[in-house]
Amino acid sequence: MPPRTSSSAHAAGGARILLVDDNANGLSARQSVLQELGHRISTAPGGAEALEAFSRHKFDLVITDFRMPKMDGLELIVKLRKLSPETPIILISGYVDALGLSETSTGADVVIQKSANEVGHLVRAVNRLLRRKKPAASERSRKKSGAKGQAAD
């Protein structure tokens, strides 16, 4: 099934976000919240469909569930990082505490526990990541070459 894109008139200026989840209810709920904030949302029911959408379109942010059949969120993050290391990624899971999932262990920019507070955490994380400025690729290269062994980022 190809990814679906939804937009409305007030969403024309928002960020383009790819939302990945095999649970249709979770996908729909998050999509509604993000569209109300003015973002343009594309959805994918799994990792393979997300990679297909990602290869065809530029996204400002990716939000993925952890537990999905065939390709889990961690596998998807690794593949997305290879394609576009600078794209911010949020990982959402009901197993954050049980599995010790963190930004360091997953490669995501933000890890959110599924809970009653999930929507508030998601909205804050989306806003923070979209505001974050990254240096242009040429500037990063210049910093790295001038750093002589020191980390530039």
User: For residue range 29-61, what is the model confidence (pLDDT) as tens digits?
Assistant: 999 999 999 999 999 999 999 999 999 999 999
Contact 56, 44 (CB under 8 A): no
Give the chain's count of helices (H) and strands (E): 7, 6
Are 20 and 46 in contact by the 8 Å Cβ rule? The answer is yes
User: Does the structure show a pLDDT above 80 at 103?
Assistant: yes
- For the sheet containing 89-93, what is the strand order? 4-6, 40-44, 16-20, 61-65, 89-93, 110-113
Whole-structure pTM value: 0.79
| CATH for 4-147, options being 3.50.50.60, 3.20.20.450, 3.40.50.2300, 3.90.1150.10 | 3.40.50.2300
Q: What pLDDT is stored for residue 12 in this prediction?
A: 44
* pLDDT value of position 132: 84
The mean pLDDT value of the chain amounts to 83
Query: What pLDDT band is residue 117 in, cutting at 50, 70 and 90?
Result: very high
Residue 90: closest CA among 49, 128, 117: 128
